[in-house]
Amino acid sequence: MRVLLQRVRQARVAVDGEITGRIERGLVALVGVHRGDTLADVHYCADKCAHLRIFADEAGRFDRSVLDVGGQILAISQFTLYADCRKGRRPYFGDAADPELAEPLYEAFVQRLRDTHRLDVACGEFGAHMDLEIHNDGPVTLFVDSAVNA
Protein backbone atom coordinates (compact mmCIF):
# COMPACT_ATOMS: atom_id res chain seq x y z
CA MET A 1 0.00 0.00 0.00
CA ARG A 2 1.16 3.47 -0.79
CA VAL A 3 -0.23 6.66 0.74
CA LEU A 4 0.66 10.15 -0.38
CA LEU A 5 0.08 12.39 2.64
CA GLN A 6 -0.40 16.13 2.38
CA ARG A 7 -0.66 18.34 5.44
CA VAL A 8 -3.54 20.75 4.82
CA ARG A 9 -5.31 23.73 6.32
CA GLN A 10 -8.50 22.49 4.67
CA ALA A 11 -9.61 20.22 1.84
CA ARG A 12 -12.73 18.93 0.17
CA VAL A 13 -13.74 16.44 -2.49
CA ALA A 14 -16.70 16.53 -4.85
CA VAL A 15 -18.25 13.92 -7.13
CA ASP A 16 -20.53 15.18 -9.92
CA GLY A 17 -20.50 18.64 -8.35
CA GLU A 18 -21.66 17.39 -4.92
CA ILE A 19 -19.28 17.58 -1.96
CA THR A 20 -18.78 14.10 -0.48
CA GLY A 21 -16.08 14.96 2.05
CA ARG A 22 -14.62 18.03 3.71
CA ILE A 23 -12.03 18.59 6.44
CA GLU A 24 -10.34 21.45 8.20
CA ARG A 25 -6.79 21.14 9.59
CA GLY A 26 -5.35 17.70 9.01
CA LEU A 27 -4.16 15.38 6.28
CA VAL A 28 -5.23 14.42 2.80
CA ALA A 29 -4.37 10.76 2.28
CA LEU A 30 -4.26 9.63 -1.35
CA VAL A 31 -4.40 5.85 -0.99
CA GLY A 32 -3.05 3.41 -3.59
CA VAL A 33 -3.50 -0.33 -3.17
CA HIS A 34 -0.87 -2.72 -4.61
CA ARG A 35 -2.00 -6.02 -6.15
CA GLY A 36 -0.12 -7.91 -3.43
CA ASP A 37 -1.46 -5.97 -0.44
CA THR A 38 -3.09 -7.56 2.60
CA LEU A 39 -4.59 -6.31 5.86
CA ALA A 40 -1.06 -6.16 7.28
CA ASP A 41 -0.25 -3.44 4.74
CA VAL A 42 -3.46 -1.59 5.61
CA HIS A 43 -2.73 -1.65 9.34
CA TYR A 44 0.88 -0.54 8.85
CA CYS A 45 -0.08 2.44 6.65
CA ALA A 46 -3.09 3.54 8.71
CA ASP A 47 -1.10 3.37 11.95
CA LYS A 48 1.84 5.24 10.40
CA CYS A 49 -0.43 7.97 9.02
CA ALA A 50 -2.15 8.44 12.38
CA HIS A 51 1.10 8.70 14.35
CA LEU A 52 3.50 10.38 11.89
CA ARG A 53 4.76 13.58 13.52
CA ILE A 54 4.47 16.17 10.74
CA PHE A 55 2.75 19.02 12.56
CA ALA A 56 4.83 21.70 14.26
CA ASP A 57 5.19 22.14 18.01
CA GLU A 58 5.77 25.52 19.70
CA ALA A 59 9.41 25.45 18.59
CA GLY A 60 8.43 24.87 14.95
CA ARG A 61 9.75 21.28 14.90
CA PHE A 62 7.83 18.37 13.39
CA ASP A 63 6.80 16.85 16.70
CA ARG A 64 3.01 16.38 16.59
CA SER A 65 0.79 13.90 14.80
CA VAL A 66 -2.69 14.43 13.37
CA LEU A 67 -3.93 12.80 16.57
CA ASP A 68 -1.96 15.25 18.73
CA VAL A 69 -3.40 18.31 16.98
CA GLY A 70 -6.99 17.01 16.83
CA GLY A 71 -6.87 17.01 13.04
CA GLN A 72 -8.98 15.22 10.46
CA ILE A 73 -8.18 13.05 7.45
CA LEU A 74 -9.62 13.15 3.95
CA ALA A 75 -8.98 9.71 2.39
CA ILE A 76 -9.13 9.38 -1.40
CA SER A 77 -8.60 6.16 -3.38
CA GLN A 78 -5.85 6.71 -5.95
CA PHE A 79 -4.76 3.74 -8.08
CA THR A 80 -2.49 6.01 -10.14
CA LEU A 81 0.04 6.02 -7.27
CA TYR A 82 1.23 2.70 -8.71
CA ALA A 83 1.77 4.04 -12.23
CA ASP A 84 4.99 2.96 -13.89
CA CYS A 85 6.10 5.66 -16.33
CA ARG A 86 9.56 4.35 -17.16
CA LYS A 87 8.72 2.96 -20.61
CA GLY A 88 6.78 4.57 -23.41
CA ARG A 89 4.40 7.46 -23.10
CA ARG A 90 1.46 5.79 -21.43
CA PRO A 91 1.62 4.85 -17.73
CA TYR A 92 1.42 1.15 -16.90
CA PHE A 93 -0.87 0.32 -13.96
CA GLY A 94 -0.17 -3.42 -13.65
CA ASP A 95 1.02 -3.12 -10.03
CA ALA A 96 -2.22 -1.48 -8.89
CA ALA A 97 -4.78 -3.83 -7.37
CA ASP A 98 -7.95 -4.66 -9.27
CA PRO A 99 -11.03 -2.91 -7.82
CA GLU A 100 -12.28 -6.18 -6.27
CA LEU A 101 -9.21 -6.22 -3.99
CA ALA A 102 -8.55 -2.48 -3.78
CA GLU A 103 -11.96 -1.31 -2.58
CA PRO A 104 -12.21 -3.53 0.52
CA LEU A 105 -8.60 -2.70 1.48
CA TYR A 106 -9.21 1.03 1.00
CA GLU A 107 -12.35 0.72 3.16
CA ALA A 108 -10.34 -1.20 5.78
CA PHE A 109 -7.78 1.66 5.81
CA VAL A 110 -10.55 4.17 6.51
CA GLN A 111 -12.11 1.95 9.19
CA ARG A 112 -8.75 1.42 10.90
CA LEU A 113 -8.28 5.19 11.17
CA ARG A 114 -11.81 5.61 12.54
CA ASP A 115 -12.06 2.62 14.86
CA THR A 116 -8.52 2.14 16.16
CA HIS A 117 -7.36 5.75 16.18
CA ARG A 118 -10.72 7.51 16.65
CA LEU A 119 -9.97 9.93 13.82
CA ASP A 120 -12.59 11.92 11.95
CA VAL A 121 -12.18 10.64 8.38
CA ALA A 122 -14.00 12.04 5.36
CA CYS A 123 -13.91 10.24 2.00
CA GLY A 124 -14.37 10.54 -1.68
CA GLU A 125 -16.13 7.84 -3.68
CA PHE A 126 -14.14 4.76 -4.67
CA GLY A 127 -13.64 4.54 -8.45
CA ALA A 128 -15.36 7.85 -9.19
CA HIS A 129 -13.94 10.85 -11.01
CA MET A 130 -13.38 13.32 -8.18
CA ASP A 131 -12.55 17.00 -7.93
CA LEU A 132 -10.25 17.81 -5.01
CA GLU A 133 -9.62 21.19 -3.48
CA ILE A 134 -6.53 21.03 -1.29
CA HIS A 135 -5.03 23.91 0.67
CA ASN A 136 -1.54 22.60 1.44
CA ASP A 137 0.09 23.68 4.67
CA GLY A 138 3.83 24.15 4.29
CA PRO A 139 3.65 22.48 1.81
CA VAL A 140 4.35 19.17 3.50
CA THR A 141 3.95 16.12 1.26
CA LEU A 142 5.25 12.65 2.16
CA PHE A 143 4.95 9.05 0.97
CA VAL A 144 4.08 6.23 3.35
CA ASP A 145 4.72 2.78 1.88
CA SER A 146 3.86 -0.48 3.57
CA ALA A 147 6.83 -2.58 4.59
CA VAL A 148 5.81 -5.39 2.24
CA ASN A 149 5.65 -3.44 -1.04
CA ALA A 150 7.97 -0.47 -0.41
Question: What CATH number is given to the structural domain containing 38?
Answer: 3.50.80.10
Predicted confidence at residue 14, as pLDDT, reads: 98
In a domain, 86, yes or no: yes
Residue 24 CB: number of other CB atoms within 10 A?
13
Q: What's the whole-model pTM score?
A: 0.94
Phi then psi for residue 15, to 5 deg, are: -125, 125
Indicate the number of domains in the chain.
1
- Single out the residue of 73, 71, 93, 72 nearest to residue 82, CA to CA: 93
Predicted confidence at residue 73, as pLDDT, reads: 98
Specify whether 80 is catalytic: yes
Rounded Cα–Cα distance for residues 33 and 135 (Å):
25
Specify whether 78 is catalytic: yes
Q: Which of 80, 111, 116, 143 is catalytic?
A: 80
Kindly report, residue by residue over 43-73, the tens digit of the pLDDT: 999 999 999 999 999 999 999 999 999 999 9
Question: Could you please report the per-residue DSSP string of 40-70?
Answer: HHHHHHHHHHHH---EE-TTS-EEE-TTTTT
Specify whether 79 is catalytic: yes
In a domain, 64, yes or no: yes
Q: Which domain holds residue 71?
A: 2-145
Percent of the chain with pLDDT over 90: 97
Predicted confidence band of residue 148 (pLDDT cuts 50, 70, 90):
low
Rounded Cα–Cα distance for residues 44 and 129 (Å):
27
Kindly report, residue by residue over 87-126, the tens digit of the pLDDT: 999 999 999 999 999 999 999 999 999 999 999 999 999 9
The answer on pLDDT for 34 being more than 90 is: yes
Q: Which of 6, 55, 72, 78 is catalytic?
A: 78
The answer on pLDDT for 39 being more than 90 is: yes
Mean pLDDT over each residue of the chain, to the nearest integer: 96
In a domain, 150, yes or no: no
Predicted confidence at residue 131, as pLDDT, reads: 97
